[in-house]
Chain A
Amino acid sequence: MEAPPDNDVLWARSLHFTHRDGSPALGGVSIGVREGEVLAVSGPRGSGKTTLLSCLSGLTRAERGEIWFNSAPLHTLGPVARERLRRDRFGWIDPAPLLVPELNVWENAALPLMLRGTSRRRAKAAALEWLDRLDVGDRARLRPHELTQAERQRVCIARALAPAPAVLFADEPTAPLHRADRAHVLRTLTTAARSHGITVVLATHDPETAAVADRTVCLLDGRRVHTVHLPPVGESEGRAACSLSA
């Protein structure tokens, strides 16, 4: 078995995954994530980005293929060990800010730390610090429903960054935001990750978002591609007929 390269913190080879209903998701994706980089996984909707991220983070188990994290195999771990690894070393940002509605903002951000067994005071200090850094420090005592969507998403990012994970998986973190908020959120995310040496795997279908990354990996229909050649959207007759000016 070939050992992974030293500078790759996370490394996967020929991952295959099929959904339970039989629709194919990943067909032999190989990927290497270097230490401390921001890697964008781009591709249109339905190209398997989310599945790849959840396989890499151990949320779902790939059918075939290998995943190595820090030179230790992840694909052979059981669910409990994967859960522990996810809690201790990985962070996850959802496409939508899913906060626990009954906790206030700083409690939400401190929750992963508290789940790891950090004392309440230290968890609160770390959470408040990250919230300040992400410009939502003044909202720390509000409940999630009182925030705007962009603020909630920033709280989610603070929650993911507060435990200082080794690898942060961000699944379309800017999907529900306007472009101004999108740029702000991305900037804060990448700056924080770079300054703390956190490796980020960023799934996105937006080329602008992918531009902030150090490296981009393209997926198409569950396969890794180097050049995307999609047929250009031509002006068909139906379009012309439907247009209002015609």
Chain B
Amino acid sequence: MLALRVTRSARPAVQVRRLLVTAASAGTGFLLLSTLGYALGHPWASASAVLRLAWCVVPLAATAYLATAVARTDPGTRPRPGLAAIGLGPARLMAVSATTTALSSVLGSLLALLVFLHLRGDLTGLPFDGVRWEFLAPDQPLPLPGALTLLSLTPLTCSTAVALMLRPRDTVLATRAATRTLGRVGRQAAKAAGGRGGARGRAGSAPTRGGTGGPEDASRLPVSPPGSRPAADGHPAAGHRPAEGDALPAAGAGPTEADARLNGAGPTQADGRADGAAPRPAPPRPSPTALPWGAALLAAGLAVEAYAGGGATAAGLRLPGGLHGPGAALLGWTLTALGLALAGPGLTHLCGRLLQSAHPGAVRLLAGRGLMEEATRIGRPVGVLCAVASGAYAMAALGTDSATAGPLTVLGGLVVAGCALATLGTAAVEARQARAETTAALVRLGAPATALRGAAALRAGALLALFVPLTALVAELASVPLAG
């Protein structure tokens, strides 16, 4: 019930994001159902049906990816001190989040079922009854268990992905992460404290920081990738660790914050105050390291594609294993897409580094460093979008001379491309939420809104300038051997 209430009372932007999940789930569900329809219509062609089912993995993965991104930005399912106080800790909130996701994707699946039944002619009295595509199997009765099993795939995948992503981590992990990133500070503190156990105090207080912070603190942490999630979970877990009671200022901030919450007049003021009570900047996320892997996979994928397509011209270099044919092309595409997705964060980081190099002014500095900081969050969806775009480009280049794409291919492409785009948009929203506090501080400093907007535009422009040519290049390279 709580999940329903949380779902109902959200802002329009949040509802739109959930509707995107619903739409993606509907598209995926329809694709899955049409696989079933094809199998019903062609009971002898099981290999082809399995291939169609296998292709459905791509939209399914895209939908789950979108669902996790949407769940991360969902303000309703974020750890909040008030909710934790009444027993709604991270574990329950994870359950709420997974239920919310399941709700939107089940809605989408039902929509897909309705449309499918309607197109088959089972539901009469509506327009477009006369469509008789073969994958609908209009003459056969639809096996309900099979349909329901297929339809439950999307909600299950999405909910599981969300639950796994938001699962409450053990505080041990948080401590390890904190000591790793705070190692230098801890040593300095120990030096400064003259061996009065300063390092222990600091390291011990580190995991509780996210907990004693206000909602901003909590909102800053969970949106980052799983690595820093545990810091937010330290909040309810603080009770398990009595040793942290003496860990100074962070622990003392709790009651004052509660006072502020009671005294604070408006919600905004209360938030600002709570924010002021215990603000510790989170250690920055490590810069992405997967760029070499991404580049290697990309190169390998392109090479496989070249071998797969260029059999006639490079006969002397043909691989003995027989890497050729459409299977090899598919493998090449997959490797290329994976490489692009892996290289995305690293390339974004590089982009930011280039942007802030060589005596930057304020705008360039803010834009470049922001991009470096958000490289993991923004870069991955950008990489995925590039992979999708290059795949679409190559398909379009090939599709001109081969058979025209059927409605299912178009639908699948739309679902995947839409999911990639929506995920990128959601990631941008997430980054903005995470930086809201810094932006507010900059505004109080008197930073002109034009400067902040200029920095954002510069960031977007730099990403476009790097990734559009890259995508075009990869797509061109991928399509050359296949076309030739």
Contacts and interface: CB of A to CB of B under 8 A. Distances in A.
Contacts of A84: 446, 448
A145 B284 contact: yes
Contact of B281 (A90, A99, A114): A99
A154 B43 CA distance: 75
Nearest to A89: B446
B4 interface: no
A107 B281 contact: no
A120 B445 contact: no
B125 interface: no
B366 A100 contact: yes
B360 A102 contact: no
Question: Which among B184, B278, B281, B360 has the greatest number of chain A C-beta atoms within 10 A?
Answer: B281
Interface residues of B, number: 50
Interface string A107-135: 10001101100001000000000000000
Interface string B244-265: 0000010001000001100111
A8 interface: no
A101 B281 contact: yes
A105 B188 CA distance: 17
Contacts of A83: 446, 448-449
A86 B448 CA distance: 10
A148 B189 contact: yes
A100 B442 contact: yes
B284 A19 contact: no
B482 to A, nearest CB: 42
Contact of B365 (A19, A114, A149, A172): A114
A144 B366 CA distance: 15
Contacts of B189: 148
Nearest to A143: B284
Contact of A102 (B263, B275, B279, B284): B284
Contact of A98 (B192, B365, B437): B437
Contacts of B277: 96, 175-176
Contacts of A88: 446
Given A23-B266, A176-B276, A159 B445 contact: yes
B319 interface: no
B185 interface: yes
A21 B284 contact: no
Given A83-B448, A101-B373, A175 B276 contact: yes
Given A98-B438, A176-B249, A114 B362 contact: yes
Contacts of A120: 359-361
Interface string B352-388: 0000000111100110011011000000000000000
Contacts of B283: 145
A21 B273 CA distance: 16
Interface in A51-84: 51, 59, 83-84
A11 interface: no
Contacts of A144: 281
B448 A115 contact: yes
B455 to A, nearest CB: 11
Given A87-B448, A96-B276, A115-B448, A25 B265 contact: yes
Interface string B424-441: 000000000000011011
B6 interface: no
- Chain A interface size, as a band, is 35 or more
Contacts of B249: 149, 176, 178
A21 B365 CA distance: 38
B156 interface: no
A225 interface: no
A229 interface: no
A25 B442 CA distance: 24
Contact of A86 (B253, B265, B359, B446): B446
B276 A95 contact: yes
Given A96-B275, A115-B446, A176-B279, A19 B438 contact: no
Contact of A87 (B266, B272, B447): B447
A100 B265 contact: no
B9 interface: no
Interface in A158-207: 159, 172, 175-176, 178
Contacts of A152: 281
Contacts of B372: 102
A149 B373 contact: no
Given A19-B269, A20-B266, A23-B266, A176 B278 contact: yes
28 contacts: A19-B265, A19-B268, A21-B265, A25-B265, A46-B263, A50-B269, A83-B448, A87-B446, A87-B447, A92-B444, A92-B445, A94-B441, A95-B276, A96-B276, A100-B366, A100-B441, A101-B373, A102-B284, A102-B372, A103-B369, A115-B446, A143-B284, A144-B281, A148-B185, A149-B280, A176-B249, A176-B276, A176-B279
- 8 closest A-B pairs by CB: A87-B446, A23-B265, A19-B266, A98-B441, A46-B263, A114-B362, A95-B276, A102-B369
